[in-house]
Amino acid sequence: MKVLANIFSKKKNERIRGIMQRTGALLFALCLTAAVPMTALAETAPVEIDPERTDCSITLELNYTKTGEGKKDMEGGSIGIFTVAAVKTDGGVQTFDTSAGKFAGSSAVKDIAAMDENTLNKRNSSIAAALVSAATADKADKTEAVSKGEVSFTGLKPGLYLVRQIEKSNNDVAINPFLISIPYENEFQVAAKPKAGITVPKKPKTPEKSKKTPKKTTTRTTKGSGRIPQTGQLWWPVFAGISLGLVLIVSGIVIRRKSMIS
């Protein structure tokens, strides 16, 4: 009996230990699951921004694909950046101040201050395209030449910037304008890879030929005379005169011979 009791007691203890182990493992897994979103939120939370810091930078990696030649680095030309808005944090929330930008007062930037990151990303291309006409080279904060598929802008302040092509690169390669912000994902040294494409120069228009074709004029000259006959002249009176003259000459000869005989 004692042997059976010991066996049942041992099995009971093993079941209890098994239950405790499974419960511990479950609690550990729940703790890990709860910790994951907390870590993610901590990584994406806005950092405190000093609007006067000047150690920010933007680096662009520029390449394009050419038919038959594969991927190539952009070379030559220049790219400029223009301040659209200053960036700061207010109560832990990142905000944009367009009054400090190059396009203050423009209808294209009036709603930027109220936009969240997702809305701004969706409207990135349309806002950039609307600002291009006003983004002349003389207004650029910085202009840099493209070399070996790369261009860098350093010594920048936190802000929202417009990036646009100032001069086309070799082979007429250019990028579309776009907006980029500092910081981006809490980084103050931002790198981007905008898509570049080859712009085919437009062929000059050939002047249209006049629909009215000038009438061809021909002139005739009489052989040996070097004179141009009068346009529309009638020739039958000429032949009639010649005939009448011959008749008169013959009649005169006949009358003269008769007078000599008589």
Q: Which 8-state DSSP code applies to residue 108?
A: T
Higher-scoring residue by pLDDT: 219, 173: 173
Task: Give me the percent of the chain exceeding a pLDDT of 90.
Answer: 38
Q: Per the structure block, which two tokens stand in for 225?
A: 């005379």
**CA 163, CA 79: separation in Å to the nearest integer?**
7
pLDDT at 228: 39
Which amino acid is present at 136?
A: T
Question: Residues 6 or more apart from 165 whose CB is under 8 A from it?
Answer: 77, 78, 79, 174, 175, 177
Which amino acid is present at 84?
A: V
For the stretch 193-222, pLDDT in tens is 998 887 655 555 555 555 555 555 554 444
pLDDT at 98: 93
pTM: 0.60
Higher-scoring residue by pLDDT: 108, 68: 108
Residue 77 exposed, middle or buried by CB count within 10 Å (0-12, 13-18, 19+) = buried
pLDDT at 191: 94
For the stretch 9-51, pLDDT in tens is 555 556 655 555 555 554 444 443 333 332 223 345 667 888 8
pLDDT at 32: 39
Q: For the chain, what is the mean pLDDT?
A: 75
Task: Give me the percent of the chain exceeding a pLDDT of 70.
Answer: 63
Which amino acid is present at 88?
A: K
For tokens 């009438």, the residue is 215
